[in-house]
Amino acid sequence: MTLTRGSDDAVTVTGRDFPTNRGGLCRKGWTAAELIRHPDRLTRPMLRDRHGDLRPIGWDRAYDVIVEQIRRTQRDHGHDAVAVFGGGGLTNEKAYLLGKFARVALGTAMIDYNGRFCMSSAAAAANRAFGIDRGLPFPVADLDRANTIMLLGSNVADTMPPFVQHLAGAVAAGGLIVVDPRVSATARLTAGGSGLHLQPAPGTDLELLLGITQVLFAEKLIKNDYLARRAVGVGTIRRSVAALWPERVQSITGVPADTIREVARRLAWAADHGGCYLLTGRGVEQHVNGTDTATAAINLALLLGLPGSPDSGYGTLTGQGNGQGGREHGQKSDQLPGYRKITDPAARDHVARVWGVDVDQLPGPGLPAVQLLERLGRPDGVRMLMVHGSNLLVSAPDATRLQRRLADLDFLVVSDFVLSETALRADLVLPVLQWAEEDGTMTNLEGRVIRRRAVIEPPGQAKSELEILQELARRLGASSAFPASAREVFEELRLASAGGIADYSGIDYDLLDRDAAAHWPYRSESTPRLFTDSFGTADGKAVLVPVRPSRPVDAPPSGRQLTLITGRLLEHYQSGVQTRRIPELDHAVPRARLQIHPAAAARLGIDDGDEVLVRSDRGAAVCWAELTTLIRQDSVFLAFHFAEDASANRLTAAVADPISGMPEFKTSNVTVERVTSGQSGGAQFDGEEVA
């Protein structure tokens, strides 16, 4: 994006001619500047008074309150009683300094971030297979040459519209394969002979991938020469899929056996003819077996010889604004800068030297997000929480229970630029900067580091989180320096990441200001394509890891139950804090709509536009029915951008993948019933009033 400041400080947004978007933006991009001077912007710190109201205070008072609360909490309950929760939208500099602040200034192991809800399964799978997690290990533009692209669990036509232009070659060749339980906007691109749409039952993507893999073995379509040179573990994969022949997989997924065979043959043909890519997204990853499902996709790609090939590949699509960079430099519970493991003695020594602290001062690994949030408010758990760049009450699973956990805290501090649903429940809210008001860097899905440049001054007393962390660290007596300039923080990040997996040591702001390509690892030059010669494992070979089907969190739906799928809309973004405040986007989709098939709606006595109550074992949400044949009859779809009674995450379970920590967002059993209006004016269902 290119930003232009007018004489009245108004900002104009235009699409930039860049390799990823080529001047294109989505509706969210074109309207993004409308939030910069929104009347809801926070301009002063706000402290909750004894009457329960948030009142403006000065920064000195805010700092004093935070430091006092930290010291009291850690004195009474220990260092880990203070926790930090970050976000995948933070710049690299803020994510880095937040991790350093937690470990050095607070001395706590309790830090994680909302990327656990987004990229963690794909990251875990890539790390154990390749030794490196970079969303796309090749430039996005490489997809232009593809004749076949298999896209699993990602509706890019709605979530990343400029990305669709990179699918054009595969569409023209009839080789776009979309796996999605819904007939999404992306799935509709396969119409008219442009490809295939596979519509498996929700939560059966793993079985589908294993079935396709079985066909490769059965029909001798695997790339033996490639595997002998570049991978280990082929024999274990062959044995693990032997019983998953297409007819059996059809009985599980609903995808016809002939289609499963057709997909396997198309992929093998494309791999032989150059231009075959497998891409995964949240739809197949946001499950308790998400790491195994992503692993099954990687195994399939390796058997086809795709990763590291000059004209083919495997990758995963990032979700948040800095989804890649946000997970590289230390705000994850098990991580130090440079994508280093916090349990690695060599990594700890290196980072301790850069920070100028004793290595024994660094805490060990903390807890991933779901487990961390489960400890909130417990007598022996987290008593104080500091939130940066996340709206937990909308984005985290089992939101009703989480609301009670937040209320049990001794103190909640939220840094944000508007009063999000989480900030509204904070004891102290700190006003921070928006994207057009701050310098820094982001790392895109290709691992390309990109400069963000401030174009206007912030409103009122809003401050950079770098400045806030610097002052808090000083008042806490931190034993390391905390720079407040984004450029200075990046210079330190370069040193801390040097030699790590995500090595930024050869990058600086002068390089980025020239718009030079800067894909990590970047020591002396950019690395736009990984794995051309070897993988990031100890012996340079990729590891095929056998995976097997597992039981879902909820038993298969029965009776009047349907399977709830949660996801995104074209008009809104993440927890909706920003997009619900932009009139054009809010007017387009002002309220939560439950997509339900007309046949299912008829059985339940529901008409299009009816107010409906959706219930699971975790809670209930109220929304409006949207009848559509674009969804399976056994499923419903609800976007997670809406809050309070309409929050989809009131229905999801706080149960996580044991490897990645990813919650189960995609397969909750729910009942749906029409809400009628009672004499009291409240919505009535089964004689109960909906709050």
Looking at the fold, whether 343 and 305 belong to one and the same domain comes out as: no
Q: Tell me the pLDDT band of 681, cut-offs 50, 70 and 90.
A: very low
Q: Is residue 537 part of a domain?
A: no
- Residue 337 is encoded by which pair of tokens? 């800068």
600: domain CATH number is 2.40.40.20
**298-341, pLDDT tens digit by residue?**
999 999 999 999 999 999 998 678 999 999 999 999 999 999 99
If one counts the domains in the chain, the total is: 4
pLDDT at 119: 87
505 Cβ contact list (under 8 Å, min separation 6): 494, 495, 497, 498, 499, 522, 523
Q: Tell me the pLDDT band of 249, cut-offs 50, 70 and 90.
A: very high
Give CA separation, 7 vs 10, 11, 141, in Å: 7, 9, 37
pLDDT at 140: 96
Mean pLDDT of 516-536: 96
pLDDT at 685: 41
Helix (H) or strand (E) holding 267: helix 257-273
pLDDT at 62: 98
Looking at the fold, whether 420 and 454 belong to one and the same domain comes out as: yes
Q: Is the pLDDT of residue 618 over 60?
A: yes
Nearest residue to 292 via CA among 535, 652, 545, 655:
545
Report the number of secondary-structure helices (H) and strands (E) in the chain: 22, 31
Treating both helix axes as pointing N-terminal to C-terminal, what angle do 290-303 and 120-130 enclose, rounded to 10 degrees? Answer: 40
Q: Is residue 529 part of a domain?
A: no
Q: Is residue 242 part of a domain?
A: yes
Sign of CA pseudo-dihedral 366, 370, 376, 378:
negative
Looking at the fold, whether 263 and 393 belong to one and the same domain comes out as: no
pLDDT at 556: 76
Peptide bond into 521 cis (omega under 30): yes
Q: What is the DSSP string of 325-357?
A: GGGTSS-STTEETTTEETT-HHHHHHHHHHHTS
Helix (H) or strand (E) holding 280: strand 276-280
What is the number of other CB atoms lying within 10 angstroms of the CB of residue 539? 10
Distance between CA 623 and CA 615 in Å, rounded?
A: 11
Q: Is the pLDDT of residue 517 over 50?
A: yes
Looking at the fold, whether 464 and 492 belong to one and the same domain comes out as: yes
Looking at the fold, whether 138 and 49 belong to one and the same domain comes out as: no
Nearest residue to 96 via CA among 409, 495, 453, 362:
495
**546-595, pLDDT tens digit by residue?**
999 987 777 777 789 999 999 999 899 888 899 898 999 999 999 999 99
Helix (H) or strand (E) holding 689: strand 688-689
Distance from chain centroid for Cα 474: 32
Count of residues making up the chain: 691
Distance between CA 193 and CA 216 in Å, rounded?
A: 24
- Where among 488, 513, 538 does a domain terminate? 513
Q: Is residue 523 part of a domain?
A: no
**418-475, pLDDT tens digit by residue?**
999 999 999 999 999 999 999 999 999 999 999 999 999 999 999 999 999 999 999 9
**123-167, pLDDT tens digit by residue?**
999 999 999 999 999 999 999 999 999 999 999 999 999 999 999
pLDDT at 529: 97
Q: What is the DSSP string of 469-525?
A: HHHHHHHTT-SS----SHHHHHHHHHHHHTTSSS--TT--HHHHHTT---BSS-SSS
pLDDT at 687: 35
The angle formed by the CA atoms of residues 47, 52 and 56, to the nearest 5 degrees, is: 25
Q: Tell me the pLDDT band of 683, cut-offs 50, 70 and 90.
A: very low
Looking at the fold, whether 239 and 326 belong to one and the same domain comes out as: no
- Residue 567 is encoded by which pair of tokens? 């996801």
Distance between CA 381 and CA 408 in Å, rounded?
A: 11
Averaged confidence pLDDT in the chain: 94
Looking at the fold, whether 461 and 357 belong to one and the same domain comes out as: yes
Looking at the fold, whether 187 and 88 belong to one and the same domain comes out as: no
Mean pLDDT of 367-396: 97
pLDDT at 540: 98
Q: Is residue 580 part of a domain?
A: yes
**77-101, pLDDT tens digit by residue?**
999 999 999 999 999 999 999 999 9
Nearest residue to 284 via CA among 125, 159, 396, 175:
125
Mean pLDDT of 167-172: 97
Nearest residue to 471 via CA among 60, 6, 100, 32:
60
224: domain CATH number is 3.40.228.10
Q: Is the pLDDT of residue 184 over 90?
A: yes
pLDDT at 689: 39
- Residue 214 is encoded by which pair of tokens? 């079985």
- Where among 316, 341, 376 does a domain terminate? 316
Q: Is residue 526 part of a domain?
A: no
Q: Is residue 108 part of a domain?
A: yes
Helix (H) or strand (E) holding 285: helix 282-285
Q: Is residue 35 part of a domain?
A: no
What is the residue type of 466? Answer: L
- Where among 316, 348, 369 does a domain terminate? 316
Looking at the fold, whether 211 and 125 belong to one and the same domain comes out as: yes
Looking at the fold, whether 665 and 571 belong to one and the same domain comes out as: yes
What is the number of other CB atoms lying within 10 angstroms of the CB of residue 57? 16
pLDDT at 37: 87
Q: Is the pLDDT of residue 632 over 50?
A: yes
Three-state SS annotation for 542-564: EECCCCCCCCCCCCCCCCCCEEE
Residue 592's domain comprises 562-689
pLDDT at 564: 97
Distance between CA 281 and CA 317 in Å, rounded?
A: 5
Looking at the fold, whether 298 and 366 belong to one and the same domain comes out as: no
pLDDT at 690: 41
Distance between CA 7 and CA 628 in Å, rounded?
A: 47
Nearest residue to 24 via CA among 13, 34, 35, 12:
13
Percent of the chain whose pLDDT exceeds 90: 92
Distance between CA 264 and CA 208 in Å, rounded?
A: 11
Mean pLDDT of 382-391: 97
Looking at the fold, whether 268 and 131 belong to one and the same domain comes out as: yes
Q: Tell me the pLDDT band of 371, cut-offs 50, 70 and 90.
A: very high
